């Protein structure tokens, strides 16, 4: 090969040094922990607001269905909100509702006592207090009366079959004859002899009935104590 030919040949391209792959910087542990904690709190808050929430049973008014005796362990329950997304409250439902005023004595509020418990309650990670739980007996427009000859509550003239009552005859202590206003509920405890329910608030605004908008959700399951854990029996009031 002549010198001219060698001069005409292109020189081989110089190979550029390979750039090292850029590695993603790992977050410090404390940042990861904060991110996980915040995500968990947000998820808990969403679940509490839209799906399910836990509550104390503040008194013995729903025994034997739900236990809240002062001298024993109080039930902790889950209340689900899905049923009422598109459906209506039904007669016989066990519902949790915000105290409309004066339904809960101070000794039975069931409120957590320290700031940590209150903080956890606000995001749904601790059972809530300050609410009432009763069974729906009358809906808006229903005429509810007590009682027939057998001591049974009548709704629109039909006696209710209520096998869940602690004492079927104890309801006679407080007679009534009311028509429930639209959008409101007539609510009574299963332990009729020990339940300050709609019967005892007939002098209040609404004549003892409760605004349906105060209902948080429907009783679904008992979480605690373990020997009572399980789904709350769906025994209707029809």
The answer to whether 81 is a known catalytic residue is: no
List Cα–Cα distances, 210 to 56, 70, 103, 124, 140, in angstroms: 20, 26, 11, 24, 10
Given 48, 54, 59, 61, which residue is catalytic?
61
Q: Which helix (H) or strand (E) holds 6?
A: helix 3-8
Q: Which helix (H) or strand (E) holds 39?
A: helix 29-50
Given 48, 74, 81, 134, which residue is catalytic?
134
- Kindly compute the dihedral angle of the four CA atoms of residues 193, 194, 196, 198, in this order, to the nearest 10 degrees: -40
Region of residue 201 (phi > 0: left; psi between -120 and 50: alpha; otherwise: beta) = alpha
Spatial neighbors of 205 by CB under 8 A, at least 6 apart, are: none
Q: Which helix (H) or strand (E) holds 187?
A: strand 184-188
- Name residue, tokens 């601790």: 126
What is the separation, in whole angstroms, between the first and last Cα of the chain?
Answer: 109
The answer to whether 134 is a known catalytic residue is: yes
Task: Kindly list the catalytic residues.
Answer: 61, 134
């Amino acid at each position: 090969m002549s010198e001219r030919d060698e001069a005409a040949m292109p020189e081989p391209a110089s190979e550029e040094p390979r750039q090292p792959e850029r590695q993603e910087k790992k977050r410090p542990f404390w940042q990861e922990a904060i991110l996980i904690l915040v995500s968990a709190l947000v998820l808990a808050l969403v679940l509490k607001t839209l799906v399910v929430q836990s509550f104390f049973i503040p008194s013995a008014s729903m025994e034997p269905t739900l236990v809240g005796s002062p001298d024993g362990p109080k039930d902790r329950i889950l209340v689900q909100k899905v049923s009422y997304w598109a459906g209506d409250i039904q007669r016989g439902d066990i519902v949790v509702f915000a105290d409309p005023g004066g339904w809960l004595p101070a000794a039975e509020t069931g409120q957590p006592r320290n700031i940590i418990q209150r903080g956890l309650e606000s995001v749904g990670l601790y059972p809530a207090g300050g609410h009432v739980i009763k069974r729906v007996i009358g809906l808006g427009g229903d005429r509810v009366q007590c009682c027939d000859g057998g001591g049974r509550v009548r709704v629109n003239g039909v006696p209710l079959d209520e096998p869940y009552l602690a004492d079927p005859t104890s309801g006679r202590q407080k007679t009534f004859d009311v028509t429930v206003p639209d959008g409101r509920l007539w609510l009574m405890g299963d332990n009729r002899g020990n339940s300050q329910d709609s019967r005892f608030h007939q002098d209040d605004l609404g004549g003892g009935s409760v605004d349906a908008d105060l209902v948080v959700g429907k009783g679904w399951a008992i979480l605690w104590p373990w020997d009572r854990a399980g789904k709350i029996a769906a025994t209707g009031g029809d």
